[in-house]
Every structure is written in structure tokens, then in C-alpha cells.
Structure 1
Amino acid sequence: MTSLFARSSGLILHITSLPVFTVPHGNELPGSDGVWAAGDVGSGDLGPSAYEFVRFLAAAGQKWWQVLPCGPTGYGFSPYQSPSAFAGNPLFVSPALLVRDGLLKLEEWHDAASQHPQDLPKDRVQLELSASKRMELLRIAFRRFQNQRHDLHGEFDAFRHHHRAWLEDHCLFTACKIAHQDQSWVSWEQPLARREHHAIAAWQDKLRVAIEFEAFIQYLFDKQWLQLRHYAKSQGVQLIGDIPIFVAMDSADVWSQQHLFELDDFGNPTVVAGVPPDYFSATGQRWGNPLYRWDVHRQTQYDWWMRRCSRMLEQCDLIRIDHFRGFEAYWEIPSHMSDARVGEWKPGPRNDFFEVMTQYLGGGELPVIAEDLGFITQEVHDLRDRFHFPGMRIIQFAFGAGDSNSLDLPHNYPKHCIAYTGTHDNDTVVGWFNSKEGEGSTRTQEEIDREKSFALRYLNCSPDQIHLGMIRSIWSSVATMAVAPVQDVLGLDAQSRMNTPGTSVGNWTWRCPPNAMDPPSAAWLVDITDVYGRKL
């Protein structure tokens, strides 16, 4: 039997980070009928640039495209704090594909793009501007769908029926949030906050059109995503999705499934998620997510979780579970505490959860990557290994000790792991190498210089080739899969970092510059992928 985790490689690039589409007219996508005129509204989406990136991956011999969570985003636009664990991000819906499908006119797309300031940097996502323009275009498409495109209504109805278990609550929640000026659901009037039947019925009737609009957006997202996935498969490219273990407090999931979370009688969390103090933080990290009532989940055979995983596997081929250690034990912080110093470890669902998941998905190897970074106990390793999940190794973490014993050094990798140069939470390789004392680092300059020296010795490369040296090193390792962020392939510095944990400004805004992923980059990647036996 062939394993899901054959020797292979891939790249990390979030959907919003896809570049402005610049492929010359004539390089059309399936079904485009020549409609690919230039037009950009500030961020990447599921349109032409996504297809062009798939072609780049195929040309570069890469099997995997790893993305960050693809749900809607709330305040701060973090994909790890989504108001829905099931829905797709409206900002990913491509205006170009709406033009192709007759839901937008070309001039409507161009008008929105022309109103977008053209002098803004092309390597930054303009999240607020993009959101405004994209929602305007979606409203135009919705009106045309209602008034003219009756041929799509059957497809739309079928989508709503298939996804009704989560879609109805998501759409009502989103419409109610807008009607309540984006206030948290715990601030809504109690009958609605507590989901009393008469209140739900009244608001469903009052917001009928707004609810249908939200369902329409999800239909478009689903349609465009599945078309992209089908195209990727035709090119030999598969998708790795990312599923955060916890969900946002102000989400459709918590509001609609309050019995599954540790809440008081008014809907407020009694305890919240985080991690205890460690070497990196004297006060730990208080994330604030509500914690699960695992005893209740167990009584339902983890039904909500199984449906969540099924939804992800409709979209992706592998699931990376963020904060995997929480399934073995999680840090419980009293909700009134302002930091994570006071708390206690509580047992997670452990083996029982993944045994149910194995049965639910029909047996065999589970398509799961365990994010097992940070302080990890033997019990977490045992849980990971019992179900044969590959863990993660980050080469950027490998050089601090200055000796050959680090588990993040490629010669110490187990075969069944996923090797990365870095993740969305790391600095870029070039940014890491160029860091100095006092620039967000807890290391002294002497420690930094010693780390750099050891990295250059180990990788046998010059400083200006540090990113290529790290990629080559993990590609040549025994790790079953090797993955690098696009920023590291391009050798970009700290200005291109995706996220800095513990900060709330400037994150999630990096966008790949136009034409950066060029034929020479693909040629270098395909060469090392072939040399080290990762080309399928």
C-alpha cells in the first residue's frame, strides 16, 4: 500500500500572498474564453495568479502547495483567529473568475481595480482596501445572480443542502454580526445570544436577504476552490491545509455550539487557551480561545470535529494540525487572568480522538501532519507515533547550540518527518541570518555570531547563499517531505516575514512581488528536487 507521505517537496504560500497576475495575454486558463485582462484589487485570490503558481510548482517539480488556514478573518486579519472553522474567506473569491462565469462585467472589475491606488507597494497586501473593493464586487455579482443567472440557482441550492450542517449557522451569525455593528455575540440581546428558538426564527426572517448573500459568497468560494484543486491535481500538485486546534471566541462555531465549550451561563469563557511561561516568555502566552468540553465531544463521537476534518479534506489532501500537543494535554488559564502564568495542564482527548477519526475516515493512514514544535513531552511524541503522524523539523532552529546534537539538524532527522526552512511564524532565512542583538532577539551578539558561523560551516555555503544552502540541506535529508516558504526560495529579508508572534501590527500583509517566481527559480528547484530524489 502506497503511503500518503512519499518522498517529495513543496512550497508555502498563502492565498493572499499570491502576486499580481502578469502572465502575457494568451496564456489562458481552462474555460477562460480569453477573459484575463489586467486588474488587481490589492490581494491574491483563487483566480489567475493561483493557477499560474500551480504551473510554477509543476515546472519546479514540486508536489505540494501548503497554505495557511483559509477561513474568514476578523480583527487583525489573522487566519488563525477565524469567525468560522468551516467557511471560506470571501477575500479569496476571484473577480476574474466571476467575469468568466458571467456574474461580473469586465468593466465592473476594471472600475474597482482602477479605484485602487496604483502607487501602493506590490509586495504588500492592502487588506482593508481589498476587503472593501471585493465585497462591493460580490454584492454586484449577487444582484446579477438574483436577477439574471437563474441557471446557477440549482447548483447554489445543491451547495446549500450539502453544507447545511454548518452553512446556516455561519450565514446567520455573519448577518447578525453586521446588523449588530460587529459587536461580539455575547453582547447581543440574550434571546439571540442564547439561541432561543423564537429569536433565531425572527432574525432569520429579518435578515433573509443578508443570509442568502453570505451563502452565495460561500458557494462562490467553494466552486472556485474546487476548480483550482482539480486543476492542481491535473498538474500533479496537491494541497496541504492548516487547521488550528482552537477556534475564535467570537465565532459562529462557539455561538452555535455553546455546549461544546467551557462557557458560563452568559456565554463568556470560564477558562481560555495558551501556553505557560518558558524560555521565550516569562509570562507565557494567553491566546484567549475558549477551551473544549472534551467530555461532551466524546459523548457525540467528536461529531463537530469529524465534520470539521471532513470539510478540510474536501479542500486539501493533507491536514497540518496546529498545536498538536493540545490533543495530549493543554494549558488551561482562568479567564480572569491577564497572562498565562497561572494555569494547569489538563488532559486532551488523546488516543480516543484519533481512533474515532480513523474509523470516521474509513480506516488506514490518516492524512495528518502534527505540528509538534516547542516544549513537547514524551507523551506527545507517543501520541504522534502511535498514529504514525509525521512531525515537523525546522532547520532555522538547528544552530543555536553550536554542536551536532540538535534534532533540527538534517543529519538527525527521522525519515518520517516534514522538514522546513521555516514556517509562517519564523523570520525568513535571510532575515534570521542578518538579525542583530536587540532586534527582537533574546540572544547576545556573540551568540548570534556563533550561530551564524556554525550554520555556514554546516551548510558549506557563503552568507549570500544561506537561503539556498538551507533549502538544499533539507531537500537532501532523509525527511519524507521537504517544504520551504516562497520567501526563502527568493532569498527575501525580514521585511517579507509573514508573522511575528506576540505582535499585532504588520502581520499577514506580505505579498509575493510580480514576476519573482521566474524560470531560473523553477529550474534551480527542479534540479535539486531531481538530484535528491523528490521529483515524482
Structure 2
Amino acid sequence: MKHNIRRCGVLMHPTSLPSKHGIGSLGDEAFQFLDLLEKTSVSLWQILPLGPTGYGDSPYAARSSFAGNELLIDLKSLAYDGYLDVEDVLFNPGFPSERVDYGMVRSFKEPLLEKAAHEFLAYAEPEELASYQSFVAENAWWLDDYALYQVLCRHYNDSRWFEIWPEELRLRKAAALKKVQKEFSNRLDVIKVQQYFFFTQWQSVKIYANTHGIQIIGDIPIFVAPDSVDAWANRHLFKMDKEGRQTVSSGVPPDAFSDEGQLWGNPVYDWKAHQKEGFAWWIKRIQKTLETCDIVRIDHFRGFSAYWEVPQGEKTAMNGSWVEAPGKELFAALKQALGDQLPIIAEDLGVITEDVEELRD
């Protein structure tokens, strides 16, 4: 990316695109938005994270760092492909236009997405089915765990795997996981098909953006949600006890904005474990994000130099401490794996000290 060119960009999460179905989608409204950007010489579209949201529906507390939010899938495209009826798409239960009512959207869209996935599995053309099978094989390293996690969240009606789920599933005992895979094989396939729908549609949006001179700025939250497949499937990469419960949490210290600081509650990385594995999880995370966008903004970048760690059980972030992180080593590993010219934007919010600026530079 040339640094001597000034460019204009707009921040707009796809959920905010105007839609008849209660939430923005990757259909006509996304392409119309891109046409508007091109017409007004806006060459950067900054989005927030695209992951499937959990409790609170914040894109910064997604259930997966790798999956896409199924609620963004365009129903009209699925009807056009023959996986939904036209009547399904025309019905509108009267969504609010000024905000997304996630409960209402889920009640409307989830049954239709499930129906479309079943139709796809039953009637997709051989070529399309082969494309889907390739997607599943290429993404099995995250998709298998994500599908399992979503099935279990629905089965127990709760994503708090560390509190609600039985021990054998909480701790991912092989026999228990195999039993779930066998018992819910059809549901697992449905979730995988929906991810195929999402990434197929998003890729069309990205290609359209790029061919019209627009680059997409993606977003990576530095931490993962406690109730996420990332935490459940990678307990050894976080500071957790042998039962899978956090021993410390993330946050920020007291400052001009908050006398008590901010207690975020995310699991904190066990950086020694990441170093031992050559930062493989982070390399995959950045690589996967760069498949969906052109430039990556990393949220809370200062946390790669040092982060605020709060003992579990504290009610505020006041009694935390700064803990150093191996940021230089991490970015050296990323550059070695993904190339020298990493298109990364470092967020500069927070207590920015000399060591953070040095790491950024």
C-alpha cells in the first residue's frame, strides 16, 4: 500500500445496511453500497468483525474468530439459487428500521437458513456440492470445532461451556465428542452449509469491491470471548485452570474515563504456550482474516506490548497489573509466515507508551 496517497474511507458494518429482513445482508444492499462508494470516490470500506455474535451481540465478542455471522446471509440469493421459496423472502414480520432487533431477526432468519441448508444438501447440483465439499475440507481445522460448538450451545441452550456443559464436553473428552458427532451429524452439516453460504456470498462482495477500486479494512479484536469456540477448543492457549475456568481476565486500568477501570472479562493469552507453538494460532487468525479483507485493523494493539491482567473474581479492574507480551516475537513470526508487507493498521487507543510506539514502528 502506497503511503503517499491520501484516500477516503467509510466505516459501516454490514448489519447496518438497509434491508427488508431486519439486518443488513450480503445481497443487493451490499452491492448498492459499493456502487455508492465508487460514485463518491470512497476507496476504503472499513467493517467491524464479521463473526457470529453471542450474548449481547457485539461483533467484538464473537463465538468464533474464524466463522462468519450467519445472520448476514442474503435470503434473496438463496431463493434465486432454489434453496428457498419466493414467499419465504417476501414475508416481513415488521422489523424496526432504526436498529437491529437480534431476537426478532433470529426467530425469522434461523429457520429459513436451516431450511435452505437442508435443501442444499438434498438437491444441490454436483458441481455446487463438490465446491461445498472442498470448502469443508479446506476449513476443517476450524469448521469442525465451530459446528460442534454451535450444536452444543443449542442443545444446552447456553454458550457458557465453562459453567453449564457436562465435564466430559467441557474438557473435550474424545469419546464424548465422538458421540455428539454421531448423534448430531445432520445438524453439524447444516451449520457447515450455512458457513459455505456466508463465505461464498462474502467473496462475491469482496471481488465486486476490489474490481471497483475499493479495498476492505477488516477488524481483529485482540482478545476472544469467554463463551467462544476459540476458548473452548484451545484451552491450553489461555490462562485457565485444568477445569477450563479462567484464572485471570482482561481489562484496562483506571483512567480519565473510568475511576474503576474497565473489566472486560475476556480470557487472557498464555503467551508461553503460543511461543511454544510458533504463534501458529495467530498466524492462522491473521491469514484467515486476510482472505476476507485487504487490510486488517488490530483492536487494542497496545496489548501486544503489555496488557492489563486482573485476577479472576475481582469486581473492578482496579487491582490488576501490567504484564508484558511478546509482541516483537509475534510480529516477526507473522512476517516470516505471511510476508514482510503485512497490511495491518494498529489501533492507537489506550495508554500509548514508548514501547507500544516502538512495536508499532
With the shorter chain as reference, the TM-score category is: over 0.9
How far did residue 126 of structure 1 move?
2.3
Aligned partner of 2:282 in structure 1 is: 305
What are structure 1's unaligned runs of at least 5 residues?
Answer: 21-39, 386-536
Aligned partner of 2:81 in structure 1 is: 101
Alignment of 1:143-222 (within 5 A): 143-151=118-126, 152-186=128-162, 187-222=164-199
Q: Is the 8 A contact 1:350 1:383 kept in 2?
A: yes
Q: What amino acid is aligned across from residue 137 of structure 1 in structure 2? A: L
Per-residue displacement from partner, 1:320-368 (whole Å, max 9, x unpaired)?
00000000000010011111000110001121111111111122x2110
Per-residue displacement from partner, 1:135-158 (whole Å, max 9, x unpaired)?
121111112112222432111110
Aligned partner of 2:342 in structure 1 is: 366
How far did residue 103 of structure 1 move?
1.6
Alignment of 1:276-287 (within 5 A): 276-287=253-264
SS at match of 1:290: coil
Aligned partner of 1:70 in structure 2 is: 50
CA separation in 1, counterparts of 2:96 and 2:115? Answer: 28
SS at match of 1:262: coil
Aligned partner of 1:468 in structure 2 is: none
SS at match of 2:220: strand
Of 266, 288, 292, the match for 2:269: 292
Aligned partner of 2:16 in structure 1 is: 17
TM-score after normalising by structure 1 = 0.66
Aligned partner of 1:315 in structure 2 is: 292
**Bigger radius of gyration among the two:** 1
How far did residue 121 of structure 1 move?
4.1
Of 190, 194, 200, the match for 1:223: 200
How far did residue 238 of structure 1 move?
1.1
Identity of aligned residues (%): 40
SS at match of 2:24: coil
SS at match of 1:345: strand
Alignment of 1:504-519 (within 5 A): none
What are structure 2's unaligned runs of at least 5 residues?
Answer: none
- Structure 1 residues 228, 183: closer, same or farther in 2, change over 3 A? closer
CA separation in 1, counterparts of 2:78 and 2:193? Answer: 12
Aligned partner of 2:23 in structure 1 is: 43
Q: What amino acid is aligned across from residue 13 of structure 2 in structure 1? A: H
Given the alignment of the two structures, is residue 377 of structure 1 paired with residue 353 of structure 2, yes or no?
Answer: yes
Aligned partner of 1:262 in structure 2 is: 239
Q: Is the 8 A contact 1:4 1:367 kept in 2?
A: no
Per-residue displacement from partner, 1:378-431 (whole Å, max 9, x unpaired)?
11011101xxxxxxxxxxxxxxxxxxxxxxxxxxxxxxxxxxxxxxxxxxxxxx
SS at match of 2:8: strand
CA separation in 1, counterparts of 2:23 and 2:168? Answer: 39
- Structure 1 residues 121, 181: closer, same or farther in 2, change over 3 A? closer
How far did residue 5 of structure 1 move?
7.6
SS at match of 1:8: coil
Per-residue displacement from partner, 1:102-148 (whole Å, max 9, x unpaired)?
2222122113x2xx12xx54222222211221112111111211222
Per-residue displacement from partner, 1:419-454 (whole Å, max 9, x unpaired)?
xxxxxxxxxxxxxxxxxxxxxxxxxxxxxxxxxxxx
- Structure 1 residues 163, 96: closer, same or farther in 2, change over 3 A? same
Higher relative contact order (CA 8 A, sep 6+): 1
How far did residue 85 of structure 1 move?
0.6
Q: Is the 8 A contact 1:241 1:318 kept in 2?
A: yes
How far did residue 243 of structure 1 move?
0.3
How far did residue 47 of structure 1 move?
0.6
Aligned partner of 2:105 in structure 1 is: 130
Aligned partner of 2:315 in structure 1 is: 338
SS at match of 1:214: helix
Q: What amino acid is aligned across from residue 136 of structure 1 in structure 2? A: P
CA separation in 2, counterparts of 1:92 and 1:5? Answer: 35
CA separation in 2, counterparts of 1:313 and 1:161? Answer: 19
CA separation in 1, counterparts of 2:97 and 2:226? Answer: 34
CA separation in 2, counterparts of 1:198 and 1:129? Answer: 37
Per-residue displacement from partner, 1:151-181 (whole Å, max 9, x unpaired)?
3211111000111110000100110111111
Q: What amino acid is aligned across from residue 76 of structure 1 in structure 2? A: G
Q: Is the 8 A contact 2:159 2:228 kept in 1?
A: no
CA separation in 2, counterparts of 1:206 and 1:4? Answer: 54
Q: What amino acid is aligned across from residue 52 of structure 1 in structure 2? A: Q
Aligned residues: 359
Per-residue displacement from partner, 1:62-99 (whole Å, max 9, x unpaired)?
11000111000011111111110100001110001112
Aligned partner of 2:252 in structure 1 is: 275
TM-score after normalising by structure 2 = 0.97
Q: What amino acid is aligned across from residue 200 of structure 1 in structure 2? A: L
Aligned partner of 1:84 in structure 2 is: 64
CA separation in 1, counterparts of 2:322 and 2:5? Answer: 36
How far did residue 4 of structure 1 move?
6.9
How far did residue 299 of structure 1 move?
1.1
Per-residue displacement from partner, 1:471-497 (whole Å, max 9, x unpaired)?
xxxxxxxxxxxxxxxxxxxxxxxxxxx
Q: Is the 8 A contact 1:82 1:251 kept in 2?
A: yes
Aligned partner of 1:3 in structure 2 is: 2
How far did residue 100 of structure 1 move?
2.2
Given the alignment of the two structures, is residue 236 of structure 1 paired with residue 235 of structure 2, yes or no?
Answer: no
Per-residue displacement from partner, 1:178-200 (whole Å, max 9, x unpaired)?
11112411121111111111111
Q: Is the 8 A contact 2:22 2:96 kept in 1?
A: no
Q: Is the 8 A contact 1:226 1:315 kept in 2?
A: yes
